[in-house]
Structure 1
């Protein structure tokens, strides 16, 4: 079960963000501030949801770094509900914002996931992680366990030497490179696999380049799944590691972080949800999906107390 660090060992939180865009719902057209063009198709509703999760904190130690348990929980909730969301006309794309000047004939719900630098978010917002308050840190052990079990990830556990292992700048850059150079499906699988490696036994220390290389080499083509096929070949892993060290990728991480700051993000997982009227609102936390679904008009079953069952039942 998750074991949260004491307040003396943690210093930051998590976050998310959205790039600017305009939706012309009735005309089925979308104009966004992106650097590529293409045409997509359109259903009756135009819904966009962008999710920025994170795996790590910033590059400078003074701001602290921290991997986000609740971002993993939010990520997995989305993954395991993909088919059901699709049945309601909700398409999930693990890609960046829509292209500039693109004609849209088909978009319902788009989810874009970006790793970001969290210490910068905390510094800009003045936020502090809940673990800095002893009472919240103690409660976090209960809440983390309950949340993990409820989402279907009972094996989640906080790694030993958590603060050392959570300095995951390199995995963050790796994910940015994969996002820029591989398909949506590969990016989604890489996200899920690295989160699994970090949060579930044996809790790989992804801060070490050789361990990260091994994790990428071991990544299955589908996760979860029984396939023995690998997601990346040896040449791919080499290209990814080299690409993650480039200035372009470093700048990409900083740019996404700045976008999050400008959107008012103060933690993670942070969602920006746009409904079919083109109105956007922020949502924070891994337990706010019912609010998001209501805002988007997606049918869902809310928590409700059931009447007693059986002979002597009284209403």
Structure 2
């Protein structure tokens, strides 16, 4: 049996680059020897802890560039992401923390549904351009994913168990040197951990596993 590499993917739903890596990395599980663990994090806390600032606030020119860059990457990877024109307003007025906690809640209660819920939340926000901030949004996603007792899952978002899981993921990421999302930690056979920021290091991740990066996804999602 081929030994699988441990890959921890730290992400926040509010990050378009996280959506790109989420899909492009998971699509390679059938060909790359890896076990991917999804770890939702509080990006705002990571930015604050690392002294990082959102791109549009740090350097104004980064905002327009980010829109073009995300659109270009989405085309390359055949991911139907549509960069939201209201993105800057959203990140100043809303928080994705409860949506990220929702994934943690599903991981604790019905782990077999967690990946589908994460994907549905990403697609709802970045493909359908719908909100992921209110209880009604969460109930719609959970029901569509076939999660049992959606109301109980939503209620558990504020529980200490769910908050603790999210906090643990976030602290773990910060301690490993994370300063933004997505953040990937690859554990090699000798136990050494290699860390990668962003969605554009798949070719290096594959190389370190002895695998060839075969370019964009063949089929559109």
Smaller-chain TM-score range?
0.7 to 0.9
1:214 match? 140
Counterpart-to-counterpart distance in 2, 1:268 and 1:215: 23
Counterpart-to-counterpart distance in 2, 1:197 and 1:245: 22
Contact persistence 1:174–1:241 (CA under 8 A)? yes
1:226 match? none
Q: Alpha carbons of 1:241 and 1:301: their partners in 2 closer, same or farther (altered >3 Å)?
A: closer
Matched, 1:287 2:200: yes
Q: Alpha carbons of 1:134 and 1:52: their partners in 2 closer, same or farther (altered >3 Å)?
A: same
Aligned pairs (5 A) from 1:19-34 = none
Q: Secondary structure at the match of 1:300?
A: coil
| Structure 2 gap ranges (5+) | 217-221
Q: Alpha carbons of 1:71 and 1:155: their partners in 2 closer, same or farther (altered >3 Å)?
A: closer
Contact persistence 1:271–1:283 (CA under 8 A)? yes
| Structure 1 gap ranges (5+) | 1-42, 56-66, 91-108, 220-230, 304-315
Q: CA deviation at 1:276?
A: 2.0
Q: Alpha carbons of 1:302 and 1:75: their partners in 2 closer, same or farther (altered >3 Å)?
A: closer
C-alpha root-mean-square deviation of aligned residues, in Å? 2.1
Counterpart-to-counterpart distance in 2, 1:206 and 1:256: 20
1:20 match? none
Range that drifts further, 164-173 or 117-126: 164-173
Matched, 1:195 2:122: yes
Number of equivalent positions: 213
Higher RCO (CA 8 Å, separation ≥ 6 residues): 2
Counterpart-to-counterpart distance in 2, 1:119 and 1:157: 20
TM-score, with length taken from structure 1: 0.63
Counterpart-to-counterpart distance in 1, 2:4 and 2:139: 40
1:97 match? none
Matched, 1:172 2:100: yes
Q: Alpha carbons of 1:266 and 1:196: their partners in 2 closer, same or farther (altered >3 Å)?
A: same
TM-score, with length taken from structure 2: 0.87
